[in-house]
Amino acid sequence: MILSIESLTKDYTGFNGFREKILSAATLGLYAGTFRKKALNKISLELGNASKGEIVGIIGPNGAGKSTLLNILSGILKPTAGQIKFQGNVRSILELGVGFHSDLTALENVLYNGILWGYSKKFLLEKKDDLFSFAGLSGFESHPLNTFSTGMQMRLAFSLATLSYADMLLVDEALAVGDASFQQKGVRRFQSFREEGSLVIVVSHDIHMMVSLCDRMILLDQGRIVDFGNPSSVSERYMDLIAEHSHDNAQSAVLSDKNQFQAYLMDSRNRKRNLFFTKERVLFVFEFHSPAVLDQITVGIHINDARGIRVFGTNSRLLKFSGLQIGENETSIFKFSLTLNLGPGKYSAGFSVHRGLSHGTDCFFWEEGILDFEVEQTEEIGFEGISFLEPELKIEKANDASSDES
């Protein structure tokens, strides 16, 4: 399924701080404080594939235009300009509980909303056991929706929307309130849709889930496409964007000159290396020269795997260091000592200098992939996965445990 978007634009007009959808632009001009907000600005994209499905993620800061784009694709909003070309049925989960009635039972909501989504009543009744089982709500069919938690409502809505194949599935933060096990079930369902040829478009703030899930990602900012393509590189550009938006006017981009920065890895014998073994103790050394005084700063390290998924991160504030200061024209060296309890593979480390707990506040330096290194397993250590959790196995017989209690 191929979705073609050409010069898609959406303007909101209003006055006195409110959006206005009734008055014309000419009428609005008579009022003081009239404004026009461009939520989307000439978006052009081609998504999907003629021969197979695709999962596309949309990320970006608040107000970037992510939800507006999904609302237009679903038909809820009309664009101000541009056009969309897509042939096929569209199903969407854009806001929790939309279309659900709190006084109706869960099954009644499934039947009424399912019919609106194009399911037949016969199909819904045949599939209701599967639907409620997938949602983890077996036995709750006759309960009023107003007795459900937010997570239960989300699981019900998601299960209904994905009960059968859709040519295009639009999802806006639908898994955000689900527990970890349901998120994994949701991800597997997205993947099954893709295998059947569906175009799945997902908006989420969970960047690491998006990187592992999506075939391609779109980064939006202020209604424009900033980056589009490989999920790992798009996520890195997103983190850079957050850093760029965080600067205050007084100390903007103090450490933007990457030539003032050096980084390297050292083993326990002070040798510089880039190949290590699981459980080795390694020193991540970051040094830079600051042209200005930076006070009350936080310095951090973050490590990604080869797919761009964050496997670890920490910073000086989390490690109970406070009030750090770097003097003007001063070279500072920061050494993070870590045990590489990692699975075999290739990794990269980045570094940040900012105020506050995260680099979303007054970020003076943020760089992904400064250090590349590789981890291998030794013959003594055998495990699967990305993390080595130092396992121990103890086996007891039931009668042994009971005798200990006596």
Residues 26, 36: Cα–Cα separation, whole Å: 12
Residues 169, 93: Cα–Cα separation, whole Å: 8
Largest CA distance in the chain: 87
Within a domain: residue 178?
A: yes
Q: Checking DSSP bridges between strand 54-59 and strand 216-221, what pairing results, if any?
A: parallel
What is the Cβ-side half-sphere exposure of residue 344, based on CA atoms within 13 angstroms?
8
- Per-residue confidence (pLDDT) for residue 372, from 0 to 100: 94
Q: Are residues 222 and 306 in the same domain?
A: no
**Share in percent of the chain as helix, strand, coil (round to 5):** 25, 35, 40
Domain boundary, last residue among 239, 270, 304: 239
Within a domain: residue 283?
A: yes
Domain boundary, last residue among 208, 239, 270: 239
Token output for 186: 């949701």
Within a domain: residue 4?
A: no
pLDDT in tens, 17-27: 444 444 444 44
Q: Tell me if 170 sits within 8 A of 91, measured CB to CB.
A: yes
Percent of the chain scored above 70 by pLDDT? 88
Is the confidence at residue 131, as pLDDT, over 80?
A: yes
Within a domain: residue 13?
A: no
pLDDT band per the 50, 70, 90 thresholds, residue 51: confident
Q: Tell me if 228 sits within 8 A of 57, measured CB to CB.
A: no
Q: Mean pLDDT score of the chain, rounded to an integer?
A: 86
Q: Are residues 136 and 177 in the same domain?
A: yes
Q: Are residues 107 and 223 in the same domain?
A: yes
Instruction: Let me know how many helices (H) and strands (E) the chain has, helices first.
Output: 9, 19
Find the CATH number of the domain harbouring 296: 2.70.50.60
Task: Count structural domains, the chain.
Answer: 2
Token output for 211: 């990187």
Within a domain: residue 201?
A: yes
Within a domain: residue 403?
A: no
Q: Are residues 270 and 191 in the same domain?
A: no
Whole-angstrom CA distances from 11 to 35, 75, 389 are 10, 16, 51
Q: Are residues 271 and 188 in the same domain?
A: no
Domain boundary, last residue among 239, 262, 279: 239
Find the CATH number of the domain harbouring 214: 3.40.50.300
pLDDT in tens, 179-225: 788 888 989 999 999 999 999 999 988 888 899 899 999 999 999 99
The whole domain housing 315 covers 254-376
Q: Are residues 73 and 107 in the same domain?
A: yes
Q: Are residues 223 and 306 in the same domain?
A: no
Q: Are residues 182 and 288 in the same domain?
A: no
Strand runs (DSSP E) across 2-125, as ranges? 2-15, 18-19, 35-48, 54-59, 81-85, 90-93
Of 202, 127, 134, 207, the residue nearest 168 (C-alpha): 202
Q: What is the mean pLDDT of residues 125-153?
A: 93
Q: Are residues 201 and 261 in the same domain?
A: no
Decide: residue 363, CB within 10 A, 0-12 exposed, 13-18 middle, 19+ buried.
Answer: buried
pLDDT band per the 50, 70, 90 thresholds, residue 311: very high
Residues 341, 323: Cα–Cα separation, whole Å: 30
The angle subtended at Cα 231 by Cα 49 and Cα 206, nearest 5°, is: 115
Of 333, 206, 73, the residue nearest 187 (C-alpha): 206
Is the confidence at residue 32, as pLDDT, over 50?
A: no
Is the confidence at residue 40, as pLDDT, over 50?
A: yes
Q: Are residues 278 and 325 in the same domain?
A: yes
Q: Are residues 60 and 204 in the same domain?
A: yes
Within a domain: residue 297?
A: yes
Within a domain: residue 35?
A: no
Token output for 342: 């990692």
Residue ranges of alpha helices (H) inside 196-260 are: 207-213, 231-246
Q: Are residues 93 and 193 in the same domain?
A: yes
